[in-house]
């Protein structure tokens, strides 16, 4: 009734040879080899929607790089001994680069509920902005020293 056999009770034949595997090993393929082997026949031309997404991503990356370059310029002016930029002035310049939140209020044919909803959203954004500013204002001394230290 019980077909369970303990492995310790089974004898092991050490001299037996193993049959070769039916599946051969597969060599890894690099991404460059995939493009050349495919010949482009299986690849489809990018659709305009995909292309616009790529262009938008590139534009976003470029804008991000510009902001970082501007912040680096401000910090470089602050680090230089002969600069007339103060810490408060640098903070004002960096703050001016941040986008201002905008709330679009519906035009007069809109219902009272739509206007009230817009007001609630505006208040929620203002509350969250206060939390973000408070969190960013409480950074550790080590982080400030690392940011303002001369480049290594």
- Domain spans, the chain: 49-98, 101-152
Report d(CA 126, CA 120) in Å as an integer: 10
Contact 77, 83 (CB under 8 A): yes
Cβ count near 114 (within 10 Å): 13
Whether pLDDT at 62 is above 80: yes
- The structure tokens listed for 141 are 């001394």
Residues 107-130 pLDDT 10s: 777 788 888 888 898 888 888 887
Contact 75, 148 (CB under 8 A): yes
Report d(CA 28, CA 36) in Å as an integer: 15
Q: Has this prediction a pTM greater than 0.85? A: no
């Amino acid at each position: 009734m019980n077909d369970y056999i303990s492995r310790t009770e089974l004898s092991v034949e050490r001299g037996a040879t193993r049959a070769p595997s039916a599946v051969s090993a597969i060599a890894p393929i690099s991404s460059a080899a995939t493009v050349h082997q495919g010949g482009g026949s299986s690849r489809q031309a990018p659709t305009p929607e995909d292309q616009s997404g790529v262009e938008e991503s590139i534009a976003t990356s470029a804008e991000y790089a510009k902001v970082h370059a501007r912040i680096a310029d401000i910090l470089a002016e602050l680090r230089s001994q002969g600069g007339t930029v103060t810490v408060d002035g640098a903070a004002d310049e960096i703050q001016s680069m941040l986008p201002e939140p905008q709330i679009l209020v519906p035009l007069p044919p809109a219902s009272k509920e739509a206007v009230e909803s817009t007001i609630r959203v505006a208040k929620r954004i203002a509350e969250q902005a206060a939390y973000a500013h408070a969190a960013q204002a409480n950074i550790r001394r080590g982080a400030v020293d690392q940011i303002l230290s001369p480049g290594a």
